[in-house]
A and B are shown apart, each in its own frame.
Chain A
C-alpha cells in the first residue's frame, strides 16, 4: 500500500503483524544498493519477506528490497560451488542447479527466501543435526556498508560471523559464494511413522538421526494427557537413481514444482481457531501411515509442503499470526515437556508444531541453532492468553539455557535477549565497527534493543 502524499509504503513480516511505513527502494545493482544505503535515516535490507516478525522493516526509514540483486553468476558443477547475487531466491537456485545435480546445502520449509535472507537469519533445515546451518556453507560474501565501504568477507573474518544470523544489521549482502550439495536425483527416499506420545517421538528422532540426513517430527500440540506430544516423524535421504521407480529414471534430476493453489485474498478473522486446527491436526495424524519405509517423493513435497499454497499466511486473517521457535539444550527434556504441556493446556492452538534435534552450532554470535531440541509453533493472534503464555515459555527456555529464534520473533521481552544470546556484546562491537554511523536499524533491533 503506497500513500500518495508521503510515498511511504506499509511493510510487515510474513505473520502480517505490526506493519510500519517506510520508503521501499529496489536497487538492481550493487552501485544502486550502495546509494540506497546512504539515503538518510534508518535503513534495513529485505529479501522475500518471509521473516515472520519485524526483522526486515524499519519505520520511518528505508527498506532496501534486495530481490532484484539476483542472478546466478558462476556455477562450478565439478567443485559444487555457486556464486550468486544475494537477492536470488532458493527457488530460482534450485530450478537452475538441481537439474545440474546440485542442491542447496540447507533449505528451510519454503523455497521463497533469498540467499541474503538465508545468511541474515542463518537458516537451518531438517538436516541441521547432520550438516549445520546455512552460513556453514558460505565461503565468501560481499557486504555493502552504509558508509560506502565494500567488504569481501570469509569465515576467517569476525564480520562474516556477525553477519551470519545478524538480522541484516551488519550491512547489505550483495553477493555470496555457496558450497552446494551434489545430488544424483531430485527425489527423496522417505520413512514416515507415527509416534503415540512425546517420549516415543523424542526416542524416535534420537534413534533415526544417526541414520538419516534429514529428520523432523510434526507434533499435535492440542493432544493432551496420554497422547501429549503425539506426532508424525519423517526422515529422508537424497534418492540415488537406483532408488527411483522405473518411470522416474529417465529424468532423474527434473525439478519443476508448481503451486496450483492460492489462498484467497481476504479471509475473515478467526478461521484458524481451536476447532479448525484441532480437526486439521486429527486428520493430519490419522492420514499419516503407521509406518512406511523408503517411499520416494519429490524434493518440493518433502522440504516445502507449504509452498503448495501461495500466500498461505493470509489464511490467518487480518490479525495475522506468530511463529515461535525455541531451542533447549539436550538434557533439558523436562523443560521441553513442560513447554508442550503449557501450550496444550492453554488452548492456544498451534497449527503445525515442529520438533527437531539440532547438532552443533557455528561461530555466529547471533546464530540461533545450538545442540538441543527445537520446537517451532505457528500461533494465530487472538486468544487473550497468548502473550502471557509465550512470555512464560520464554522464561522456561531461558531457565533451561536455551533461546528463541530472532528471525521469527515478533514479541520477545527485550530483557531476555542477553541471556539467550550471551555473546551479544561481542556481536555489538563488530556491528558497530561495520556501521559506526548507526544507520542500519530495523523495527526489531529497536524493539529488542539489539544495538544499544
Chain B
C-alpha cells in the first residue's frame, strides 16, 4: 500500500530496463519499496536492474516478459501480471524508443516502430494498467513522457509527435481517474543522459536518471499531475510553446 507520505511498497515497471525507472525504484527502495516486477521484451537483459534493486533493499525482485509492440496483447498481459502478483501500488510505464528521425523520414517502417512503441503501445499499456488499478481501488500510475511532446521540433518530430500523443492521452486519463483512488502522474524530462541517448551530445539543461528519479519521488509525494525534470523546463517550454513558428523554426533545437 502507498503510505501517507506517498511511498509505495510494490511496483511494476513496463520497460523494466529503463535507467530512469530503475533509478526511481532505487530511491524508493530506501523508503518502503520491497516488491518489484520488471517487465520487458528481453528478460535476460534485466539482470543488472534486478541486482541494483536488490542491493538497494528490495526483497522480492522478479522479471516478466512484456512486449511494448504487442498492443493487442496488453490487456491480457497486464491482467495476468496483476493477478499473479496480487496487484501493485505503483506502475511505471517507462518503455520508449528515440528512433532515427532521418531514417523515419525516408522509411515508413522506422516511423511506424517509433509511433507503435511510444504511442500505441504506451496507450494500451496505460489504459490496461489504469483499469487494473481502479479495480484494486488504489495506486499510482506514472508515464514517462518527454518535453519533446510539448512542441514538435524539426530535428525529432516523429518522436515528438509520439510523445505529444501519449501525453495528451495521459492528461485525459488522469482526469478520468480523478476520484478513483488512482493517481496518474506525467513525467516530462528534458534530455536525459542514459542508455537511450548514449553517444549523443547532451542538450542544454540535461538531467541524469537520478535527478529525474528525485523529481518522480517528490511528485508522487505531492500527488502532482505533471512533473518536469529539471523543474525549470516547465517555464522554458511555456515560452517555447508560444514562440511564433518562424522564430521556433530557426532555433537550433
Q: Could you tell me which A residues sit within 8 Å of B by CB distance?
A: 1, 3, 6, 8, 10, 15, 17-22, 53-54, 58-61, 319-320, 322, 381, 384, 386-387, 410-411, 413-414, 443-444, 446-447
In the complex, B198 has a CB within 8 A of chain A: no
Interface residues of B in 204-253 (CB under 8 A from A): 218, 222-223
Nearest A residue to B136 via CB reads A60
Secondary structure call for the A interface: loop
Q: Are A411 and B4 in contact (CB under 8 A)?
A: yes
Interface residue ranges of B1-43 to A (CB < 8 Å):
1-5, 7, 9, 31-32
Band of interface residues on B? 20 to 34
- A387 to B137, Cβ gap below 8 A? no
**B32 touching A319 by the CB < 8 A rule?**
no
Q: Is the CB of B3 within 8 A of A22?
A: no
Rounded to whole angstroms, the CA-CA distance of A58 and B137 in the bound complex is: 8
CB pair A322 B135 closer than 8 Å = no
Asked whether, in the complex, the Cβ of B180 is within 8 Å of the Cβ of A410, the reply is: no
Task: Say which residue of B1, B134, B180, B181 sits within 8 Å of A447 (CB atoms).
Answer: B1
B74 within 8 A of A: no
Q: Which residues of B contact A1 (CB under 8 A)?
A: 179
Given contacts A387-B31, A443-B138, contact A20 B4 (CB under 8 A): no
- Among B3, B32, B180, B222, the residue within 8 A (CB) of A8 is B180
- On chain B, the residues within 8 Å of A443 by CB distance are 1, 138
Counting chain B CB atoms within 10 Å of each CB, the highest count among A3, A59, A386, A414 belongs to A59
Interfacial chain A residues near B32, Cβ < 8 Å = 413-414
**Chain B residues within 8 Å of A, Cβ to Cβ:** 1-5, 7, 9, 31-32, 134-138, 179-181, 218, 222-223
The prevalent SS among residues of B at the interface is: loop
- The residue that B180 contacts in the complex, of A6, A61, A386, with Cβ under 8 A, is A6
Between A and B, 5 residue pairs with Cβ closer than 8 Å are: A3-B180, A18-B1, A18-B4, A447-B3, A447-B9
- In the complex, which residues of chain B have a beta carbon less than 8 angstroms from the beta carbon of A60? 135-138
| Chain A residues whose CB sits within 8 angstroms of the CB of B181 once the complex forms | 8, 10, 19-21, 59
Find out whether the CB atom of B3 lies under 8 angstroms from the CB atom of A411: yes
Report A-chain residues with C-beta under 8 Å of the C-beta of B135.
Answer: 60
A residues less than 8 Å from B218 (CB atoms) = 384
| Given A18-B1, A447-B1, A411 and B222 contact (CB-CB distance below 8 Å) | no
Q: Which residue of A lies closest to B31 (CB)?
A: A387
Instruction: For the complex, give the distance between the alpha carbons of A410 and B135 in Å.
Output: 23
A322-B3 Cα distance, complex, nearest whole Å: 11
Give the shortest distance, in Å, between B77 (CB) and chain A (any CB). 21
Given contacts A3-B179, A447-B3, list 12 more A-B pairs with CB under 8 A. A6-B180, A18-B3, A20-B137, A21-B181, A59-B181, A60-B138, A320-B4, A387-B5, A411-B7, A414-B9, A446-B1, A447-B1
Residues of B within 8 A of A322 (CB): 4-5
CA of A387 to CA of B5 in the docked complex: distance in angstroms?
Answer: 7
**Chain B residues closer than 8 Å to A61, beta-carbon distance:** 137
| Cα–Cα distance between A54 and B89 once the two chains are bound (Å) | 15
Chain B residue contacts of A19, Cβ below 8 A: 181
With a CB–CB cut-off of 8 A, which chain A residues contact B5? 17, 322, 381, 386-387, 411
Q: A105: shortest Cβ distance to chain B, in Å?
A: 31
A8 contacts across to B, CB distance below 8 A: 137, 180-181
Task: Name the B residues within 8 Å of A447 (CB-CB).
Answer: 1, 3, 9
**Complex CA distance for A387 and B180, rounded to whole angstroms:** 26
Question: B1 to chain A: which residues have CB within 8 Å?
Answer: 18, 20, 54, 59, 443-444, 446-447
Which of B137, B179, B180, B222 is within 8 Å of A319, CB to CB? B222
A59: contacting residue among B3, B137, B179, CB under 8 A: B137
